[in-house]
Amino acid sequence: MQFEWIQIPYALLTLFIILNYGLLLNAFVAKIGARVGRRIGIPIYQNYIDLIKNYGLRSSITHGVMFYLAPVFRLTGGVGLILFVPTIYGSVMFSNFSFAGDLILALYFIFFGTLGMALGAAESGHPHAAIGVSRGLSQVTMAELPLALAVFSIALQYNTLSVTEIVAAQQGGVLNWTLFTNPLAVTAAMLSFLGSVMRPPFDVVLAPQEIPIGPPTEYHSSYLALMQTNRVIYPVAKMVIFMNLFFGGADNWPVFFLKIFLIYMFAVFIGVVFPRFRVEQSIRWFLIWAVPIGILAVLVV
């Protein structure tokens, strides 16, 4: 990779677009969930108000250095993921800092934030922190395993670890997408996606309706704002990876917005329909269904 200073403002512009799209997308999804429950839901602009308010607050409470570095680690995972993979295929402006082998770096960034939050929770002093860390890491690790197998499969298929080259190999028509050339890998990856975004039925680690503890209440002020920012950026950044690897990428922003929306709606609709799994149930589910499909995808290739 040859670093060019001119890419910095374009990368920041990409980050700004992703941030705003993520804020609007989360608000829209919250609206869908509210309508399903026969409620009105939050205003579309509510996420902006919450973010600005929390960034303006300060805290005098101390729990240790690692406790406050955890949101930074979390945000680094999301920002790094979006900055080191191409957003718009064929665009010099929005190729970001992608390079040959960036697919491996993307996999590291996907898990980076989770490890940071585990370290932060361990230093919080909460008696249930160790239980939350073990449950969260167990489920996330098992959810990421099918994705790793799917990525290994398509790396063998396209004989490259460059996200740009994988997108280039899918050009020329819809039937060239990995969705049709390697459906087993896409199936394993999309099942992994359900668990990694921690939406129902795989959100028992967060359990936002039942447990009044955890990161949203243990963290506050600007630290909570950092987590909220990552909660907006990280899902979209991960969906950019999925779009590039499995659904032909995007050569303009309208196509980008449409594909990201459809990928996210897949997880949203599954979450509305199915009840929540316990942690051991979700781990068993990934072992029985997602992991074997990922192994089969590698064997077929």
The pLDDT tens digits for 3-33 are 566 778 888 999 999 999 999 999 998 888 7
Dihedral, CA of residue 209, residue 213, residue 217 and residue 219, to nearest 10: -130
pLDDT at 215 (0 to 100): 58
Give how far the C-alpha of residue 168 lies from the chain's centroid of Cα atoms, to the nearest Å. Answer: 23
116 contacts 77 by C-beta, under 8 angstroms: yes
CA-wise closest residue to 246 among 178, 296, 181: 178
- pLDDT higher for 59 or 243? 243
For the chain, the structural domain boundaries read: 7-300
In this prediction, residues 264-275 reach a mean pLDDT of 86
- pLDDT higher for 28 or 118? 28
In this prediction, residues 165-187 reach a mean pLDDT of 95
pTM of the complete model beyond 0.85: yes
In this prediction, residues 72-94 reach a mean pLDDT of 89
pLDDT at 112 (0 to 100): 81
The pLDDT tens digits for 177-189 are 999 999 999 999 9
Structure tokens at 86: 């191409």
